[in-house]
Homo-oligomer: A and B are copies of this chain.
Amino acid sequence: MMNNDLNDFISLSEKFESRFSTSHFPPQPKNLYDAAGHLLTLKGKRVRPVLCLMANELFGPISEDAYYAANAIELFHNFTLVHDDIMDRAPIRRGQPTVHEMYGSSTAILAGDVMLVQAYEYLNKINISFLSRVLSLFNDTARKVCEGQQLDMEFESQEKVSLYDYVEMIGLKTSVLLAASLQMGSLLGGAGQGNQEYLYDFGKNLGIAFQVQDDYLDAFGDPAKFGKQTGGDILSNKKTFLLLRAKEVADSEQIEKLEALLSVNDASKIQPILEMYKSCGVDEWARELKNEYLKRALTALGEVAVLSKRKKPLEKLAHDLLDREQ
């Protein structure tokens, strides 16, 4: 295969979209399947399925199996969003009312369930020689994502959460699916165990770096470039990388002031908390932490035993995702 045939993120995203934008469900019962299809038609970035396709293309032309896996991964991701939004009582997702807002919680629970089942049905179209390994990876990942969501909910009401625990949770809730998407794509491309694991590590570290950046930008980002209002995490006392780090490094006087600010319930606390973050060096720390995880991700990618020019699209994607703003 010619190397210069390699697709970049945008072109693979379009290829995926054109195959994915079909009906994944029967027409009846209408409410159930309209609810299940709702999020799928609101186009997201499709990062996870495209990572699967990109990892697959590292090892040769993209296979039909990789497209089936990509479908399963995107359905799974959207299933978690539907159920998470119920748990978080979230009213809006991708600029639209959430599934439970539109169809009620009961139908939203069932819609999520059938989305998960349909993900398995796509996996079942994969060549039998890969099926068992793919299922194993998928099941393991699905379990971890549920564990991550559980920990996330528990942390919200927990007095003390360590940075270590937070990284664990983020790893489970968001990074393992990125990691598994890459691993699955490579597995279906015939990669050996070693290359699969390097790609898994690439995705895992990329995911954590991305979350660090997300937490950072919510506090220090330029709203015009970040795409949403900043300060939201601070306003809701969300346990982020920044807050947890501040609690770990602040002296007793700062802690006292921070606790007082956390008990304030309006936007007046945003500026003083930002200043406290700066005086604790949390902003600088977060930039370095993000770069540390990005470095780990790129090191893992570097170890994948294919010609380095084949890895350019994944390298570029990592930089595109993580060179925002800072």
B-contacting residues of A (Cβ < 8 Å)? 28-29, 31-32, 83, 86-87, 105-107, 109-110, 112-114, 116-118, 120-121, 123-124, 128, 131-132, 135-136, 139, 142-143, 146-147, 149-151, 153-154
Contacts and interface: CB of A to CB of B under 8 A. Distances in A.
29 contacts: A28-B147, A29-B151, A29-B154, A31-B154, A32-B146, A32-B147, A83-B109, A83-B110, A83-B113, A106-B153, A107-B150, A107-B153, A109-B109, A110-B146, A110-B150, A112-B113, A113-B146, A114-B142, A116-B116, A116-B117, A118-B139, A118-B143, A120-B120, A121-B135, A123-B135, A124-B132, A124-B135, A124-B136, A128-B128
Contact of A114 (B118, B135, B146): B146
Contacts of A109: 83, 86-87, 109
B135 A120 contact: yes
Contacts of A124: 132, 135-136, 139
B136 A117 contact: no
Contacts of A107: 150, 153
Given A124-B132, A135-B120, A149 B110 contact: yes
Contacts of A153: 106-107
Given A32-B147, A132-B128, A154-B29, A139 B121 contact: yes
Nearest to A135: B124
Contacts of A87: 105-106, 109-110
Given A114-B143, A131-B132, 8 more contacts: A31-B150, A31-B154, A86-B109, A110-B146, A117-B146, A124-B135, A124-B136, A128-B132
A143 B24 CA distance: 12
Contacts of A120: 120, 135, 139
Contacts of A86: 106, 109
B83 A150 contact: no
A279 B113 CA distance: 43
A168 B154 CA distance: 41
Which 9 residue pairs across A and B have the least CB separation, nearest first? A87-B106, A32-B150, A124-B135, A117-B142, A121-B139, A29-B150, A114-B146, A110-B146, A113-B146
